[in-house]
Structure 1
Amino acid sequence: MTPVELFLLGRTLMKIGEEALPAPEEPAGGPAAQGARAVLITLSDVTAHPGSAVGEISRRTGLPQSQVSTAVARLKQTGSVVTSPDPADGRRLLVHVAEAVSERVARVRATRIDSALATALGTEDPARLHEVTEALAVLARHLPPGSLANLRP
């Protein structure tokens, strides 16, 4: 497999994941939902590094600070994270995963990829769906989100 093939596979998998995610509930007249990518990357980093400031999350993830700030605001709105003042610098807020699982997080965790995967594969053949799902489980086991830290200096 070439780096280009791997990159395109990753993009395809990301799009299937985005399609499978339940749509966020927006209040009437509320802002358009931010893309799931920045929110998921930010939440993954906060889970791995609780008590981080937005700038630290930005540096680790490679996302612009403005995207991290927006993602943190969305995650706060859904009850997924909480913030607290940094005792060392009152201008900064530290981000932590909320102790209680929010309704949104529970809904996302309960959602399966079967329908989106079947659509992307163009088939509902149970044997093919099972084979691809098992292959994805192997990849997820060997390449968890934390493995990205091995690529960064």
Structure 2
Amino acid sequence: MDGVRLLGLGKRLTELGREVMDGAGPVTLTPGEIAVVADVLRHPGSSVREIGARTGFAQSHVSNSVARLRERGLLETARDSADGRRTLVRPTARARRAVRARADRPADEVIAAAVPDAATARRVTALLDELSGLLLPPR
């Protein structure tokens, strides 16, 4: 497999993953909001600047995303007690529940719809399970 094919596969897997996640509940987020929430879940208590540095988004974009996500009850913010100019961002319990619900949703239906038949779907699912075991850290 060459790099271009690998990137294409990654893009297709991302599309399928988004399809699984989008069908898991009423919360719809933009790709940028997903990146911000994912970063905050991995690094709770981060500043807007730190989130921007890790995601590659401009600080203004992160600030706007955080404000929207706070209004939707997915993130909470507080002033840094050590430096009142900094805003620290944490995920809410609602965000954690939404992520858990999406993460636990099986991909079987989406994979079955992406391939020509049930036997191929079972094979793809088995191969993806094997690949995830080889390439991803344990949960």
1:24-78, Cα deviation, whole Å (9 max, x unpaired): 648xxxxxx542x323322222222221112211111223334433443344344
2:74 pairs with 1:85: no
Q: CA deviation at 1:5?
A: 0.9
Q: In structure 2, what is the equivalent of residue 17 of structure 1? A: 17
Q: In structure 2, what is the equivalent of residue 68 of structure 1? A: 62
Unaligned runs of 5+ in 2: none
Maintained 8 Å contact 2:21/2:103? no
Q: In structure 1, what is the equivalent of residue 37 of structure 2? A: 43
Aligned residues: 135
2:41 pairs with 1:58: no
Q: CA deviation at 1:10?
A: 1.0
Structure 1 CA distance, aligned partners of 2:114 and 2:68? 28
Maintained 8 Å contact 1:54/1:95? yes
1:72-96, Cα deviation, whole Å (9 max, x unpaired): 3344344333221112322321111
Of the structure 1 ranges 6-15 and 104-113, higher mean CA displacement relative to structure 2 is found in 104-113
Q: Secondary structure at the match of 1:21?
A: helix
Q: In structure 1, what is the equivalent of residue 109 of structure 2? A: 115
Please tell me the root mean square deviation across aligned C-alpha atoms, in Å.
Answer: 2.8
After TM superposition, the score normalised by the length of structure 2 is 0.73
Of the structure 1 ranges 112-121 and 67-76, higher mean CA displacement relative to structure 2 is found in 67-76
| Change in 2 beyond 3 A, CA 1:44/1:104 | closer
What fraction of aligned residue pairs are identical, expressed as a percent? 36
Matched residue type, 2:136? L
Runs ≥4 residues deviating over 6 A: none
Structure 1 CA distance, aligned partners of 2:61 and 2:130? 31
Structure 2 CA distance, aligned partners of 1:76 and 1:138? 38
